Amino acid sequence: MATSLVSSGITTPANLALAFGGTDVNGNSWSQQITVPFIGPVLQPEIVLSGVPATVQQNPSADPSCQWIQRLNVQESGGFNMQLSKFLVGSNDATGLISQYFGTTEIAPFGALQATLCLSASAPPAPIAYELDATSDSGATSRAVFTSSYAAAPASPASLSIDRSTLALSTPSNSGSATAPLTVSFSGGSSNWTAAIFPSNATTSWLKIAPARDRDPEPLP
């Protein structure tokens, strides 16, 4: 006989004792106890590359040399110090410009960097694949890729607004944490949107988004 057990709320590493008992066919009671070690996930050097927005829309009022603005985010998610060693923009090798774009060639454990790239095309460019490679101090390598797409300027430019300019964090008497909601509204532009926290909460969850994307339309009856 076999079974699966699921547990939550365990702070790893931990050794937990599991006790089992029952009665055999002769009516005799039995019991057995085993100690099971629980360990956290084994982290590996890894960088994650993302872009904001995923689909870049033209800004015709911007400088002609920067009609399309792509922001790249890179974050180290394994807890290792990494050296950025390779950067490809489509078929172009931009490794020599890593420091210019990201401000440095080194990313700290759980650290994050950003880069802003401009395109001057008059029409939406073809999708561009970005590749960023990094090497840890121990020699382990990680490769991250992100493909960005481009679209013409929307008829109605997108806008973002918030429901207040300041936040007052209130601490309940029975809680040691302070919380406050902030409502963000989107209008114009594309009807689809996504939102993400950057840098992501590597060890805490102090900031949350709900919902993180535009809800899918309800199906017709």
164: its two tokens: 């207040």
Q: Quote the CA–CA distance of 145 and 89 in Å, as a whole number.
A: 10
Cβ atoms 50, 29 nearer than 8 A: no
171: its two tokens: 């601490």
Encode pLDDT of 87-132 as tens digits: 999 999 999 999 999 999 999 988 999 999 988 877 898 999 999 9
For the sheet with 47-52, list strands across it: 47-52, 68-76, 112-119
Average pLDDT over residues 146-151: 92
Measured CA distances, 13 to 34, 102, 165 (Å):
17, 36, 43
pLDDT at residue 100, as a whole number = 96
Alpha helices for the chain (secondary structure H)? 98-102
Is this model's pTM higher than 0.75 or not? no
Q: What are phi and psi of 29, to 5 degrees?
A: -80, 145
Encode pLDDT of 19-42 as tens digits: 888 898 888 898 888 888 776 676
Split at pLDDT 50, 70, 90, the class of 220 is very low
pLDDT at residue 221, as a whole number = 40
pLDDT at residue 175, as a whole number = 55
pLDDT at residue 88, as a whole number = 97
pLDDT at residue 4, as a whole number = 80
Average pLDDT over residues 38-60: 84
In the chain, the domains with their CATH numbers are 47-151 (2.60.40.10)
pLDDT at residue 72, as a whole number = 95
Cβ atoms 51, 150 nearer than 8 A: no
Q: Residues 6 or more apart from 164 whose CB is under 8 A from it?
A: 182
Asked if residue 218 has pLDDT above 60, the reply is no
Query: Where are the extended beta strands (E) located within the chain?
Result: 14-23, 29-38, 47-52, 55-57, 68-76, 82-89, 92-93, 106-107, 112-119, 128-136, 141-151, 159-162, 184-187
Asked if residue 194 has pLDDT above 60, the reply is yes
pLDDT at residue 216, as a whole number = 52
Percentage above 90 pLDDT, the chain: 34
Q: What are phi and psi of 101, to 5 degrees?
A: -80, -50
pLDDT at residue 139, as a whole number = 95
Asked if residue 176 has pLDDT above 70, the reply is no
The mean predicted confidence, pLDDT, of the chain is 84
